[in-house]
Structure 1
Amino acid sequence: MEASAAPPAAPATGSFRRQARLLRYARPHWRGLLILIATMLANIALDLLRPWPIKLVVDNVLGNHAIPGVLKALPGVDGKHGLLVWVAVGTILIFLLGTLTQMIYTYNSLLLGQRMTWSLATDLFAHLQRLSVLFHHRRPVGDLISRVTGDCWCVNTLVADALVPAVQALVTLVAMFVVMWNLQPTLTLLALGITPFFLIVIKVLGGPIKDRNREQRDLEGMMMNVVEQSLSAMPAVQAFTREEHEVRRFRAYADRTVVAYVRSTVAGLWFELFAGLVTTVGTAGVIYVGADLALKGELTTGTIIVFLSYLGSLYDPLDSITHTTQTVQGAAAEADRVSELLELEPDIQDRPHAKEAKVTGPIRYDRVSFGYEPGREVLHEVDFLAEPGETIAIVGPTGAGKTTMMNLLVRFFDPTSGRITIDGVDLRDMRHQSLRRQVAMVLQDPFIFPVTIADNIAYGRPDAARADIERAARAANAHEFVSRLPEGYDTLIGERGATLSGGEKQRLSIARAFLKDAPVLVLDEPTSALDARTEGALLDALERLMEGRISFVIAHRLSTIRRASRILVVDGGRIVEHGTHAELLANHGLYASLYNRQMDIADHDALSGVADTTAGGDDA
């Protein structure tokens, strides 16, 4: 993908619904949520108490106002000095209690956020496992990784950084309004007069913040995809000296991401500017009117100080709403990216009456057609029968549809028309997971994982005993090379099997199929990437593996399928010939043409090898 490619467009609607749906991840952690709410209310109560020690000092210690009757009940409050001691002690207690409740709040917020985030990430990862192979072929891997590991933090943001603070802001506003109204109703109404302007700022400037954040997240996902592509293809990148090209691709996305990040930040700064201007105008109005009332003798100095302190506490929730709005818009962009995947329905679904699969009878392709896109079929009216014990070879030119035929057998896709049956039962009437347990596959790319040798062999049967694993390795001619490894079957394999040769990786793949012991076997060009000597060493193992099973062999090297029960020749998505090796040669059709061409190439290579050996001998 070129760096100039545009990221996916953000959806225009459904964002609020998506955010609300993600809030269900807070439900299993309701105890932690209750602790958050309790500490939040405690912090609000302490905020209400914080200005009063100052008022008592100004009005009752330094001023001439009488000590409130409720405070006279405290021990030692028999004069201004005693009251001053309690004011100092109260200030310390309020600080300690406030700090303690804030610590509890922060700890539980972190714990709740982590649990919700990784619950969502696990569900998203599990959902990706259920989506079709076709989906994964079409979507950039790096972007999917970004959505699982990065965008799932949106649920933490929505709950711990948006929902709870919004509730706290609302409760604080109500509490402050009640207290301030009792202090001075006129100033309270004046302070709240800015609310309509605040809502206008949120409405007008909040939307662009989400758009900018979505653009930034999409570009970050594409940038991660460039990294994933380049690192996965590092041998090719270095072999063709394309390192600078890949760096330029990354830099192009990085530059665009920086621009998107700056645009997102600028949108947030404008939002903060106008929101701050609104609260500042409100504060200026309260200062002017409050001072005027004090000059007229209608308010005490301590009352004005307390009211201005409360005003800050009143506007703090409004400022919190400002930041929450920005936070929510950023989380909304991430929630959209997560929900887009969660809302995708898997292409392969079990019918309501689907049953466990059990392969006892023949496999039949009954006029099967299939296309990856509507109106563009790659298989046309494929029709054949495979009996138990038979080996069916499938050959044809590249792109003829051979692998697609086998992908339909394991329900990576479903036919667009026709049906595939096992013992007369449509595959779509079987649970697809149980169907796949009935099929063992040995592919051209053996997909070796960075775990131990034993774990790789047991990947399809993780509960297998070590004796069964070793027995499968012996059957696959793998035991000998495994025994030579430093730790034998407990040897860790490098990423993508980098520490093994091609033949060794393929033997592990064959051992994996032996251990699975499934009644149906699919061999998709298992030896095409190997040299003739290594291929010969594997053919015996493959023949043992195929005994007693319904086996399908996709092959380009026609010399490896001479003993197949039947050969299907596929061209343009159709079966154009079928029969045994001898019958197809006698027909002088496409199979004979492909076979003779390969034999001519093999004879030419053999003669070239003899000539090279002779020349080498003369030089010696």
Structure 2
Amino acid sequence: MSAQTKAGAPRRGPMGGHGGHGPGGMMPGEKAKDLKGTLKKLVGFMGRFKVGIAVVLVFAVASTVFTTVGPKVMGQATTELFNGIVAKIGGTGDINFDLIAQILLFTMGLYLISAACSFVQGWMMSSISQRTCYELRRDIASKIDRMPMGYFERNSVGDTLSRITNDVDTLGQSLNQGITQLITSVVSIIGVLVMMLTINPLMTLITVVILPISLGLIMIVVKKSQKFFFAQQKTLGEINGIVEETFSGHAIVKAFNREDGTVDTFNETNARLYNSAWKSQFISGLMQPIMGFVSNLGYVVVAITGSFMAVQGIITVGDIQAFIQYVKNFTQPITQLTQVSNVLQQMAAAAERIFEFLDAPEEEPDHVTARSEDACCGVEFEHVHFGYDPERPVIEDFSATVEEGQTIALVGPTGAGKTTMVKLLMRFYDVQAGSIKIGGHDLREFARDDLRSMFGMVLQDTWLFNGTIRDNIRYGKLDATDEEVEAAAKAAYVYHFIQTLPAGFDTEINEDASNISQGQRQLLTIARAILADRRMLILDEATSSVDTRTEERIQKAMDNLMAGRTSFVIAHRLSTIRSANLILVMRDGDIVEQGTHEQLLELGGFYAELYNSQFAETIDEAEEER
């Protein structure tokens, strides 16, 4: 599979965070907060399918109507057969089999037409629901590219994935099942009620009086089972979380001998799941017997009343048979409506989460007045002010000038604002005051994708996808030849390691890249950056995961790579940035010192303090090893 194809579904994001399909999605039984508003948005979205929905409605109604008329026609055959038998016994006539055959053929025709209409309606509704899912997934995928980086730092990756998978699937299934079921159930109830009234109003009244009994019993069952269903889904989420954590951290569990504790936790949660699951299933399972009891009660009442009326000649035997069938057909759609209500609640809750994401604020549109190919790579930071929370600034007043081709190192303690400066430089965020300029142009004058095409990045958190080593390196330049990929691997000192693998460059990296070491993953990302050959570089602790000997070799490769390029290097190990043209020492969001390595040591300030403390730590570690 090509790198381009694989890139469409990355396993790990480059700016941190692990993806996952955790239990963070919508749970069955969850209700929408704004049902009316959500349904309005859903109806508006599905307006594009109004012709198809109209066809579904017509065929669903037609199918139900033909099915509803069937028992009444069938009753005529029963009446004709009964009258014929009575006449034959009395010697006054015979059974008219021709008429009965005609009635049966007509009834068969009704049911065949009903089945054909049901087939068309089902095919159309399946197409509409899946088309809806397709377009929602497409819109969400497109929306992700327009979302500000802050959204993904405030919300979990699993929640976003759940919206594009679980919630869209729930919406599609609910549309397919719920809407059709709602239409057919309502039409069935109305149609059956009308047909029963045409047969006998008194028996219809008796049936309707019995109806509240079944509804009351159903509501009691639903109310009792709902809390157990909710507990079941909640506990199932806990089970999923335990399993996911246990497998992803399996080595840690074994290293700290926590197998027994993990099993105990799982068993306790599993017991709670069993307790809630059997109760929910048992109580909800009572619905069918209850409805069966009510239906049978209705049959008995109708049979007794109908027999009495038949003796008096008020009603025919065929009408009694048809009415009994209608009693069954009357209670069934009512049961279905109670089930549809839960399905529609799930649909509304899923739709609300989907539209909540689609309606979320996007990045401000680009106002392009500059192009990257027309700009040099000198960078100016002019009184930059920024905070993820505007009330709590991370960078107060940052100013610096970087000449084209210089290597700039950003150093300082954790939380000083080093990575934040990189995010601002890449326009993952925009400054709140001041400006950052490249080649004299404010970053906001460039299109974001054009601006980012100027940068190559190597981050401390390595990002590799499930695919071959060749495709992972080629991700930096999708049209690169095999020779260019291998040359980049040699420049990153990873070629020898790749050659030792059984499949070489065609070795598959697994889903979490655990089949190669952390240092080897870092080398592959460096090879990718070398292959990309961008005009500017951002290196965030690019050699932090490799051993000292490999670090020296990588540093030489990086020096060659950075030659002639404007490079920003974030480093905690100050020994790696001694050759930088300019070192910016950051503290609490401001530059407190700047200069070369030698100048800053002579100054004897904060940088010298950081460097000497690291140098002392290195000596202590060496003495401990001896």
Tell whether the structures are fold-level matches, with TM greater than 0.5: yes
Partner of 2:602: 586
Matched, 1:13 2:27: no
Counterpart-to-counterpart distance in 2, 1:209 and 1:341: 31
Q: Deviations over 1:369-412 (max 9, x none)?
A: 33334533333222222221111101112333222221222233
* Structure 2 gap segments, 5+ residues each: 1-22, 88-93
Partner of 2:345: 329
Partner of 2:472: 456
Partner of 1:73: none
Partner of 1:353: 367
Deviation at 1:416, TM superposition (A): 4.2
Of 420, 423, 430, which residue of structure 2 is paired with 1:404? 420
Partner of 1:59: 79
Give the aligned residue type for 1:80.
N
Partner of 1:233: 249
Deviation at 1:553, TM superposition (A): 0.4
353-362 or 160-169, which deviates more: 353-362
CA contact (8 A) 1:144 1:221 kept: no
Matched, 1:567 2:583: yes
Counterpart-to-counterpart distance in 2, 1:220 and 1:337: 21
Deviation at 1:593, TM superposition (A): 1.5
512-521 or 32-41, which deviates more: 32-41
Counterpart-to-counterpart distance in 1, 2:228 and 2:525: 47
Counterpart-to-counterpart distance in 1, 2:533 and 2:167: 41
Give the aligned residue type for 1:351.
P
CA contact (8 A) 1:47 1:313 kept: no
SS at match of 1:584: helix
Partner of 1:380: 396
Deviation at 1:57, TM superposition (A): 3.2
CA contact (8 A) 2:460 2:542 kept: yes
Partner of 1:46: 66
Partner of 1:391: 407
Give the aligned residue type for 2:614.
Q
Aligned residue pairs, count: 594
CA contact (8 A) 2:377 2:535 kept: no
Matched, 1:533 2:549: yes
CA contact (8 A) 1:391 1:550 kept: yes
Counterpart-to-counterpart distance in 2, 1:405 and 1:576: 15
Deviation at 1:529, TM superposition (A): 1.9
Counterpart-to-counterpart distance in 2, 1:450 and 1:558: 34
The 1:447/1:272 distance shift into structure 2, 3 A limit, reads same
Matched, 1:522 2:538: yes
493-502 or 538-547, which deviates more: 493-502
Of 384, 407, 431, which residue of structure 2 is paired with 1:368? 384
104-113 or 159-168, which deviates more: 104-113
Q: Deviations over 1:432-453 (max 9, x none)?
A: 3333222211011221222112
What percentage of residue pairs aligned between the two structures are identical?
32
The 1:428/1:31 distance shift into structure 2, 3 A limit, reads same
Counterpart-to-counterpart distance in 1, 2:218 and 2:360: 32
Q: Deviations over 1:181-209 (max 9, x none)?
A: 44345555665678899999999998998
Give the aligned residue type for 1:46.
F
CA contact (8 A) 1:215 1:260 kept: yes
TM-score (structure 1 length as normaliser): 0.80
Partner of 2:184: 168
379-388 or 110-119, which deviates more: 110-119
Counterpart-to-counterpart distance in 1, 2:454 and 2:140: 27
The 1:584/1:258 distance shift into structure 2, 3 A limit, reads farther
Matched, 1:508 2:524: yes
Counterpart-to-counterpart distance in 2, 1:269 and 1:343: 40
Alignment of 1:214-293 (within 5 A): 220-221=236-237, 223-247=239-263, 290=306, 293=309
Give the aligned residue type for 2:579.
R
CA contact (8 A) 2:39 2:348 kept: yes
Deviation at 1:549, TM superposition (A): 2.0
SS at match of 1:166: helix
Counterpart-to-counterpart distance in 1, 2:158 and 2:48: 30
Q: Deviations over 1:3-46 (max 9, x none)?
A: xx999997873134224434566566667656644553443243
CA contact (8 A) 1:567 1:581 kept: yes
The 1:316/1:443 distance shift into structure 2, 3 A limit, reads same
Partner of 1:415: 431
135-144 or 14-23, which deviates more: 135-144
368-377 or 509-518, which deviates more: 368-377
The 1:608/1:191 distance shift into structure 2, 3 A limit, reads closer
Counterpart-to-counterpart distance in 1, 2:619 and 2:578: 18
Of 430, 440, 445, which residue of structure 1 is paired with 2:461? 445
Q: Deviations over 1:524-559 (max 9, x none)?
A: 001112211010111122112212222110111111
Deviation at 1:151, TM superposition (A): 2.7
SS at match of 2:382: strand
Give the aligned residue type for 1:18.
T
SS at match of 1:421: strand
* Structure 1 gap segments, 5+ residues each: 68-77, 612-620
The 1:353/1:246 distance shift into structure 2, 3 A limit, reads farther
- Superposed CA RMSD: 4.2
Partner of 1:618: none
CA contact (8 A) 1:393 1:564 kept: yes
Counterpart-to-counterpart distance in 2, 1:43 and 1:547: 75
Q: Deviations over 1:202-243 (max 9, x none)?
A: 999989988887776566556544444443333333333334
Of 552, 563, 571, which residue of structure 2 is paired with 1:547? 563
The 1:59/1:28 distance shift into structure 2, 3 A limit, reads same
Give the aligned residue type for 2:177.
D
Partner of 1:71: none
183-192 or 150-159, which deviates more: 183-192
Partner of 1:153: 169
Counterpart-to-counterpart distance in 2, 1:421 and 1:150: 43
Give the aligned residue type for 2:406.
E
SS at match of 2:594: strand
Deviation at 1:52, TM superposition (A): 4.1
The 1:250/1:134 distance shift into structure 2, 3 A limit, reads farther
Counterpart-to-counterpart distance in 2, 1:20 and 1:274: 36
Partner of 2:8: none
Deviation at 1:587, TM superposition (A): 0.8
The 1:7/1:127 distance shift into structure 2, 3 A limit, reads closer
Counterpart-to-counterpart distance in 1, 2:130 and 2:271: 31
Counterpart-to-counterpart distance in 2, 1:40 and 1:480: 67
Partner of 2:13: none
555-564 or 298-307, which deviates more: 298-307
CA contact (8 A) 1:142 1:227 kept: no
Matched, 1:81 2:97: yes
CA contact (8 A) 2:458 2:542 kept: yes
Partner of 2:313: 297
CA contact (8 A) 2:539 2:570 kept: yes
Counterpart-to-counterpart distance in 2, 1:231 and 1:186: 66
CA contact (8 A) 1:142 1:224 kept: no
Give the aligned residue type for 1:57.
A
Counterpart-to-counterpart distance in 1, 2:424 and 2:321: 77
User: Which structure's relative contact order is higher, taking Cα pairs within 8 Å and 6+ residues apart?
Assistant: 2
The 1:578/1:478 distance shift into structure 2, 3 A limit, reads same
CA contact (8 A) 1:198 1:278 kept: yes
SS at match of 1:505: helix
Deviation at 1:324, TM superposition (A): 0.9
Q: Deviations over 1:52-103 (max 9, x none)?
A: 4542333212215999xxxxxxxxxx96122333455556555666556555
